[in-house]
Structure 1
């Protein structure tokens, strides 16, 4: 290679380096921002997870403390749950447990009131909203007319609903109260033959069919 060729190669490499440095000076900040974003995002995710775990632990401890604060006094446990300062999704669970404690203490009206906000919250996940409706109709069985309970339960007894079969069981029970034995037997029989029904639910349904004077083996 001649000196001229060597000189040209050196100049070419220098020009390429200058271009590279110019590009880095102009756009290098993008790479830096990307790296910072990745590292920052990972750190934020870890912090968020840690915060969520700490909150869940605190809520769990608060619920446990409230439930063990008065072993033989349902009213005191309900009051303790209400004053525990539980937040987030755990508040829903806490209020449902509190409703059960209020009902056990004889305060059915208070129990229904504790569940009421969740039964009408369209933004709430169905697993919570439907459970609130189901618990309301069960807790309020002595205060809510059977036809009203059937109307409430019909909304959570649709195919695919999380508590469909339990809702159907309560509907059939309300039909018995109304004297509509034929509809009740039909409902219990459908539950007993449903492939999604648990063994305990099938057994209860068959017992109800027998108690209503019908043949549990009939189609």
Structure 2
């Protein structure tokens, strides 16, 4: 190789290095940001999980403490209402509080505690439908059977999380209205539903017998 060729090769290598350094100076920050994002993202995820776990633990402790605050249902309801419970745990706490208020004999206050959740369209059906179901059960003496059936019909559709329990409550309301035939038909359907639990089937059959009807369809 001549001196000229050697010189050209050296210049070419220098040019390549200069271009590489220029690229690194211009775009190297992207790689750095990428690394920081990956490392930082992993750290944030761990921190976020840890924070969520701590909040869940605190909410659980608050609910437990409220339920252990006294022997009287009203005292427990008041403790649940004043506890600093946040997020979805607040919904659960209010569901329990409604039950305690009902046990204390204050059905109207129990219904009021559940009311915001029964009409919240943004709420997950697991919570909203449960609030509607509990309202119908707790409010048996406060809400007419016709109104309860109207409320329950919306959560008794196929695929709804508490469909069969809603149908059971509809049958109960129909009995109150004197519509025994409709109630028995509904109870028979529940007793034969593959999704019904053994306890629910047994209750349905017992109600049919108590109503003086045959458990098998005619």
Which TM-score band (shorter chain)? Answer: over 0.9
Q: Does 1:174 align with 2:188?
A: no
Segments of 4+ moved more than 6 angstroms:
none
- Mark the runs of 5 or more structure 2 residues left unpaired by the alignment: none
* 1:35 CA drift (Å): 1.4
Root mean square deviation of aligned Cα: 1.0
* TM superposition score normalised by structure 2: 0.97
1:154 corresponds in structure 2 to: 153
1:103 corresponds in structure 2 to: 102
Whole-angstrom distance in 2 between the partners of 1:36 and 1:7: 42
* 1:218 CA drift (Å): 2.6
Whole-angstrom distance in 2 between the partners of 1:58 and 1:88: 12
Q: Secondary structure at the match of 1:41?
A: helix
Whole-angstrom distance in 2 between the partners of 1:2 and 1:198: 93
Q: Does 1:8 align with 2:16?
A: no
Q: Report Cα offsets for 1:98-125 as digits up to 9, x if no partner.
A: 0000000001111000000000001000
Whole-angstrom distance in 2 between the partners of 1:201 and 1:195: 11
- Mark the runs of 5 or more structure 1 residues left unpaired by the alignment: none
* 1:175 CA drift (Å): 0.4
The range that moved more, 6-15 or 150-159, is: 6-15
Alignment of 1:20-169 (within 5 A): 20-70=20-70, 72-169=71-168
* 1:48 CA drift (Å): 1.2
Give the paired residue count. 218
Q: Report Cα offsets for 1:56-109 as digits up to 9, x if no partner.
A: 100000000010111x21000001111111111100000000000000000111
* 1:217 CA drift (Å): 2.2
